[in-house]
């Protein structure tokens, strides 16, 4: 990072105190009351859920309430050459919202307005609203916003757009980008641009909306989103299947995914099942090698999809496979959603997000088992299996340096394995800071150089989220 971004601030008196740095007082004047956090108050904003040990200490946290305030913050940052890390709810799992020393964090937590138009079935929402709050707001209009990351109760819509989040029902209904019609984005120089808008079909110019979806805060700050909505989801039926081998489960998933469109097709291995059972005690089968949780919201009264899935399970001689009651189905779905926090009880988790095409799922599962055995570490395995997006969770013991080193080696080997299988290092969480070393190996030097040129064109000083996706220094 260039010298101009270094800061002289050495004193952070208190959250509400005055900073010794005149630049910080200048920033405070741009924001509405309580718009700035200083001193010890910045601590909760330094890291996302990945708990990046290399996260920096920001000089301040800015809490704008409007696009105009975000613009003022970016103009201030451009004037003084201060890096800005955008932040939603901080549930990210790739270090994409790690603070930068000498920079500021810009949190969208006070930008929470939403308006819903039943006529056009669209919503305009500010980025800080949580996914669950947004879902509830649209449900009150009899409508539905499908993207449902397992973290939907704690993550923001802005963070979802910036990472192009996936989730459980995305196997049938698509991921976040499939619902984004328009964005308002504040650029590095403080200009606000409107891209797309409330039109279902609109191909005027390059598709810049898609450029910003999944850009992890590196190209601009998303301040308003126009989202497409669907009619309320039809009633949903749930199947549970417990298998003797992980291969049996992967084969059943592959057969289902290439034949029908389930509304959920999730996977957990024995380690993950046991972690969830330790946490919730809901009667999961601790001995099964693998668990598949499937759903169908097909309106067909004959229930052909349900029958097809039960037959696909039965062909693999499962321990058991059955349709649940709605109550048990909801409990099992909750169990799948809390699998990450459940595994976190076993140690520090290095969370992978690798994806492969469905026919390679069994190879990935098997390869991860080999990596765990070779490195003598535990790797729990959960997956949005129906779209090939998996989460091997490498558990490390922070009190044992040798164990941590082996876990870290296994973390890299899983990404290399996914690339070798023609897959991706990240299916939905983003590259962030933690997966950046593997990016060029996946996408190639030419694609990375092209992306760097786009980054530099939009943010010549590399003020926006330096270190995420791209190297920290200017190209
Ligand atoms: C238990 C658990 C389960 C999870 N399950 C899933 C899952 O099923 N699917 C999934 O996709 N993810 C999942 N995640 C990861 C995480 O919740 C998502 O990546 C989510 O989209 C992040 O939202 P956030 O508001 O927390 O963003 P943050 O963590 O605050 O930020 C994420 C990234 O977006 C950028 N950003 C945030 N807001 C803006 C903005 N307004 N403008 C520009 N950039 C911005 C940040 O700089 C950062 O790079 C899970 C996380 C947890 C803890």
Tens-digit pLDDT profile for residues 438-451: 999 999 999 999 99
Question: What is the H or E stretch that residue 123 is in?
Answer: strand 122-125
Between 9 and 247, the more confident residue is: 247
CB 42 within 8 A of CB 9: no
> What whole-number distance in Å separates Cα of residue 379 and Cα of residue 385?
17
Neighbouring residues of 97: CB distance < 8 A, sequence distance ≥ 6: 47, 48, 85, 86, 87, 88, 90, 105, 159, 217
Average pLDDT over residues 195-216: 96
- As a whole-number percent, the residues of the chain with pLDDT over 70 amount to 95
> What whole-number distance in Å separates Cα of residue 128 and Cα of residue 225?
11
What pLDDT is stored for residue 421 in this prediction?
Answer: 98
- For residue 277, the tally of other CB atoms under 10 A from its CB is 16
Average pLDDT over residues 205-233: 97
CA nearest to 130, candidates 152, 105, 147, 150? 152
pLDDT at 11 over 60: no
pLDDT at 475 over 60: no
> What whole-number distance in Å separates Cα of residue 112 and Cα of residue 93?
23
Instruction: Label residue 473 by pLDDT band (50, 70, 90).
Output: low
Of the listed ranges 14-18, 203-207, 232-236, 405-409, the least confidently predicted one is 14-18
Residue-wise pLDDT for 47-106, tens only, equals 999 999 999 999 999 999 999 999 999 999 999 999 999 999 999 999 999 999 999 999
CA of 161 to the centre of ligand 1 (A): 8
Residue-wise pLDDT for 351-365, tens only, equals 999 999 999 999 999
Rg of the Cα atoms in the chain: 23
> What whole-number distance in Å separates Cα of residue 61 and Cα of residue 42?
6
> What whole-number distance in Å separates Cα of residue 139 and Cα of residue 122?
12
What's the start-to-end Cα distance of the chain, in Å? 11
The answer to whether the CB of 89 is under 6 A from ligand 1 is yes
What pLDDT is stored for residue 15 in this prediction?
Answer: 43
Instruction: Label residue 18 by pLDDT band (50, 70, 90).
Output: low
Q: Supply 248's token pair.
A: 């049996």
Closest atom, ligand 1, to C-alpha of 87: 30
CA of 159 to the centre of ligand 1 (A): 4
Q: For the chain, how many helices (H) and strands (E)?
A: 15, 18
Task: For ligand 1, pick from 56, 89, 92 the residue to mutate: most ligand atoms within 8 Å of CB.
Answer: 92
What pLDDT is stored for residue 387 in this prediction?
Answer: 94
Average pLDDT over residues 190-212: 96
CA nearest to 220, candidates 98, 109, 92, 67? 67
CA nearest to 428, candidates 216, 251, 136? 216
């Amino acid at each position: 990072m260039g010298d101009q971004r270094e800061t002289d601030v050495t004193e952070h008196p208190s959250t509400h105190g005055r900073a010794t740095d005149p630049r910080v007082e200048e920033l405070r004047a741009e924001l509405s009351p309580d718009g700035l956090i200083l001193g010890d108050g910045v601590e909760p904003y330094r890291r996302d859920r990945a708990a990046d040990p290399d996260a920096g200490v920001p000089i301040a946290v800015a809490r704008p309430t409007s696009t105009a305030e975000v613009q003022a913050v970016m103009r201030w940052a451009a004037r003084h050459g201060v890096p800005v890390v955008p932040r939603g709810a901080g549930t990210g799992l790739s270090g994409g919202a790690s603070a930068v020393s000498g920079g500021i964090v810009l949190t969208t937590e006070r930008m929470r307005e939403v308006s819903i138009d039943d006529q056009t079935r669209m919503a305009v929402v500010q980025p800080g609203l949580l996914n669950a709050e947004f879902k509830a707001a649209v449900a009150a209009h009899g409508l539905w916003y499908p993207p449902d990351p397992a973290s939907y109760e704690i993550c923001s819509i802005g963070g979802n757009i910036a990472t192009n989040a996936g989730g459980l029902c995305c196997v049938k209904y698509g991921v976040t980008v499939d619902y984004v019609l328009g964005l308002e984005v504040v650029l590095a120089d403080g200009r606000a641009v409107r891209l797309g808008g409330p039109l279902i079909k609109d191909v005027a110019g390059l598709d810049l909306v898609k450029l910003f979806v999944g850009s992890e805060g590196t190209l601009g700050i998303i301040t308003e989103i126009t989202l497409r909505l669907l009619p309320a989801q039809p009633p949903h039926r749930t199947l549970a299947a417990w298998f003797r081998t992980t291969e049996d489960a992967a084969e059943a998933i592959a057969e289902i995914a290439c034949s029908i469109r389930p509304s959920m097709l999730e996977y957990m291995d024995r380690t993950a099942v046991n972690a969830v059972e330790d946490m919730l005690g809901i009667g999961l089968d601790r001995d099964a090698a693998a668990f598949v949780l499937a759903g169908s919201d097909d309106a067909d009264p004959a229930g052909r999809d349900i029958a097809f899935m039960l037959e696909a399970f039965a062909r693999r001689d499962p321990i058991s496979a059955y349709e649940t009651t709605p109550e048990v189905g909801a409990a099992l779905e909750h169990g799948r959603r809390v699998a990450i926090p459940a595994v976190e009880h076993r140690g520090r988790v290095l969370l992978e997000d690798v994806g492969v095409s469905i026919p390679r799922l069994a190879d990935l599962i098997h390869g991860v088992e080999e990596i765990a055995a070779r490195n003598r570490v535990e790797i729990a395995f959960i997956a949005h299996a129906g779209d090939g997006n998996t989460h091997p969770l490498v558990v490390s013991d922070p009190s044992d340096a040798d164990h941590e080193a082996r876990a870290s080696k296994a973390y890299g080997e899983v990404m290399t394995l996914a690339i070798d299988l023609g897959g991706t290092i990240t299916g939905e969480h983003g590259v962030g800071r933690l997966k950046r070393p593997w990016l060029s190996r996946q996408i190639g030097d030419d694609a990375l150089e092209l992306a760097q040129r786009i980054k530099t064109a939009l943010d010549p000083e590399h003020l926006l989220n330096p270190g995420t996706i791209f190297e920290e220094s200017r190209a």
